[in-house]
């Protein structure tokens, strides 16, 4: 779990709380403004597919930039050093580009309202229902983790009781999503993106100045932790020991391929933002636009973790002292004056709320459309499903509050989230990628591939790793291995089952498998979308090249 050490209480005053109050007022104002555009269930769940690419792109990256990532990746920076950049440059950018260039034409062109609905068209009801249940459960679990982590932080920094923080943040998320639907969540995520940056950039700049700039930072950490600590690949040879507990092969295959592609291409909390875009071109550009700020997020998340390690050398060294999770709060306490401190606290709160809102808004869409309307209450009028979506939003927030109170059973939040991704997202990716590129794959193969991949990842983690049957140095290393196991087992099962079962007809696969098209996918670019700087291929490959170049300073 995220735990905060004693002595982190921030010297906040009336100015800081005024900034926080203004933020809450703006959040609700956006919700009421968005309400005017909500007339149908499509408006509520997917913003009427009307939003421009720059809005959906920023919302895409903000939905992922929750405070668990900010605190967790700063903690990883302090604990693992420059190895943490792998989660961004190899563990995010290639998969985001693949989503935009390859998978979004299928998602958006088939006019599905969710990721599980695509499985309904490609494989059938069994895969659809299984994936819907898995996603609904994981969404409220992750929403609860965001709430719990926020409560722990605010209790330590501001003295708020845990239950007060959980109820206050949960209420505001409930209010603005119930009122304005996905549009409210997305426009708030755009606001939250800039608020988060306004909090983290001063922290990084002032912190670097305090430790003597980049040269002072690298000199101090090289002396205390060795030369490999500030390299991305040093010490990752097979058989070599490093703090991450992973070698280059498990990093490239486990994180860079199966876990990364599994998360970014199938996680509806992000894909939903792209599905709300105004046309197919904007949908493809959504994750590609998001990739560019994602490349530079380590500068304001990982680097503060390194700074905190220099300023507080005892970080993570003793059980009762400052922990790696305290990296960002320590810098806030020691570096920021009032006013700026209020912005930083608001940024943390905005990050928690963005993470929770992304999961709640995706939960209400999947539960209402893919479970309730598809299997329990079919054929009702649209107004009924709009009302149901609002009720389900409230239920999702309340369940999230409940899971927040039991989240303390998890030993480490970031490791827990990565474990969830290896259990659920990677098997989904196997089913999607094979189903999209192999016409012969049958409906039964989709269901058994998804189920077997999920079970295989769980068996590897809970039996082979936790019971010590095989030696894996760390939880993160175990998650990488579980991802590889899930991918391999799911793929093999799909191949075998496909060979002994009947495939779907070619006509039913139009627009769902690579090499086929449907009328919905033959969309002409909107005016201006054919400009050279909006070309998806240019944006995508530009992001990949830029991410690769970012490795150069951390390679020697």
What pLDDT is attached to residue 292?
Answer: 96
What pLDDT is attached to residue 359?
Answer: 83
What pLDDT is attached to residue 352?
Answer: 75
Residue 453: its H or E element: helix 443-459
User: For residue range 143-158, what is the model confidence (pLDDT) as tens digits?
Assistant: 877 777 777 777 767 7
What pLDDT is attached to residue 4?
Answer: 52
What pLDDT is attached to residue 414?
Answer: 67
What pLDDT is attached to residue 1?
Answer: 45
What pLDDT is attached to residue 220?
Answer: 93
Pair 243, 79: CB distance under 8 Å = yes
Residues paired with residue 51 on neighbouring β-strands, in sequence order = 277
By C-alpha distance, which of 307, 355, 349, 299 is closest to 328?
Answer: 307
What is the spatial distance between Cα 103 and Cα 95, in angstroms, rounded to a whole number?
A: 10
Distance of CA 309 to the CA centre of its chain: 26
Q: What share of the chain is helix, strand, coil (3-state, %, to 5)?
A: 75, 0, 25
Stretches in the chain below the pLDDT threshold 50:
1, 411, 524
| 14 burial level (CB within 10 Å; 0-12, 13-18, 19+) | exposed
What pLDDT is attached to residue 525?
Answer: 55
Fold (CATH) for 14-412+531-554: Sodium/glucose cotransporter (1.20.1730)
Helices (H), 256-408: 260-266, 268-275, 280-296, 298-311, 327-335, 340-365, 382-406
User: For residue range 423-474, what is the model confidence (pLDDT) as tens digits?
Assistant: 888 898 899 899 988 999 999 999 999 999 999 999 988 888 877 767 666 6
- Domain map of the chain by residue range? 14-412+531-554
Q: Give me the half-sphere count of Cα atoms (radius 13 Å) on the Cβ side of residue 222.
A: 12
What is the spatial distance between Cα 275 and Cα 386, in angstroms, rounded to a whole number?
A: 18
What is the spatial distance between Cα 206 and Cα 344, in angstroms, rounded to a whole number?
A: 13
What is the spatial distance between Cα 4 and Cα 247, in angstroms, rounded to a whole number?
A: 31
Q: What is the CA radius of gyration of the chain?
A: 23
């Amino acid at each position: 779990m995220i735990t905060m050490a004693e002595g982190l209480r921030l010297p906040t005053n009336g100015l800081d709380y005024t900034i926080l109050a203004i933020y809450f007022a703006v959040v609700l104002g956006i919700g009421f403004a968005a309400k005017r555009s909500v007339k149908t269930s499509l408006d509520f769940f997917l913003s009427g597919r009307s939003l421009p690419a720059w809005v959906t792109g920023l919302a895409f990256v903000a939905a992922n930039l929750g405070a668990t990532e900010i605190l967790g990746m700063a903690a990883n920076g302090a604990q693992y050093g420059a190895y943490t950049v792998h989660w961004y440059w190899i563990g995010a950018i290639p998969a985001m580009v693949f989503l935009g260039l390859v998978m979004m034409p299928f998602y958006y062109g088939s006019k599905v309202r969710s990721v599980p609905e695509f499985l309904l068209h490609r494989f059938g009801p069994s895969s659809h229902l299984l994936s819907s249940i898995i996603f609904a459960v994981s969404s409220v679990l992750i929403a609860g983790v965001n709430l719990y982590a926020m409560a722990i932080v605010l209790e330590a920094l501001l003295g708020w009781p845990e239950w007060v923080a959980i109820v206050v943040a949960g209420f505001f998320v409930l209010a603005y999503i119930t009122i304005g639907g996905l549009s409210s969540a997305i426009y708030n995520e755009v606001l939250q993106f800039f608020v988060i940056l306004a909090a983290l950039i001063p922290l990084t700049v002032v912190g670097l100045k305090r430790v003597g700039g980049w040269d002072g930072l690298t000199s101090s950490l090289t002396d205390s932790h060795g030369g490999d600590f500030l390299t991305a690949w040093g010490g990752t040879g097979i058989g070599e020991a490093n703090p991450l507990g992973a070698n280059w092969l498990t990093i490239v295959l486990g994180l860079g391929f199966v876990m990364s592609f599994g998360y970014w291409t199938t996680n509806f909390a992000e894909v939903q933002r792209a599905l709300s875009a105004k046309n197919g071109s904007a949908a493809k550009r959504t994750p590609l636009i998001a990739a560019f700020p994602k490349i530079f997020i380590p500068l304001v998340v990982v680097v503060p973790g390194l700074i905190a390690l220099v300023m507080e050398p005892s970080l993570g060294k003793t059980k009762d002292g400052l922990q790696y999770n305290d990296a960002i709060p320590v810098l806030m306490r020691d570096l920021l004056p009032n006013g700026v401190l209020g912005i930083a606290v608001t940024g943390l709160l905005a990050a928690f709320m963005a993470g929770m809102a992304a999961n709640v808004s995706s939960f209400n869409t999947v539960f209402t459309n893919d479970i309730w309307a598809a299997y329990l209450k079919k054929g009702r009028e649209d107004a009924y499903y709009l009302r149901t979506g609002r009720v389900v939003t409230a239920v999702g927030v309340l369940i999230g509050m409940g899971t927040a109170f039991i989240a303390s059973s998890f030993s480490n939040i970031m490791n827990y989230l990565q474990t969830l991704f290896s259990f659920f997202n990677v098997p989904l990716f196997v089913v999607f990628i094979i189903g999209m590129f192999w016409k012969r794959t049958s409906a039964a193969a989709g269901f058994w591939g998804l189920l077997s991949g999920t079970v295989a990842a769980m068996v590897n983690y809970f039996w082979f790793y936790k019971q010590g049957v095989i030696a894996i140095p760390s939880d993160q290393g175990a998650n990488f291995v579980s991802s590889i196991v899930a991918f391999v087992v799911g793929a093999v099962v799909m191949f075998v089952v496909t060979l002994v079962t009947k495939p779907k007809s070619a006509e039913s696969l139009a627009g769902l498998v690579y090499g086929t098209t449907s009328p919905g996918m033959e969309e002409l670019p909107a005016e201006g979308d054919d400009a050279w700087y909006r070309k998806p291929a240019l944006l995508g490959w530009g992001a990949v090249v830029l991410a690769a170049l970012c490795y150069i300073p951390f390679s020697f």
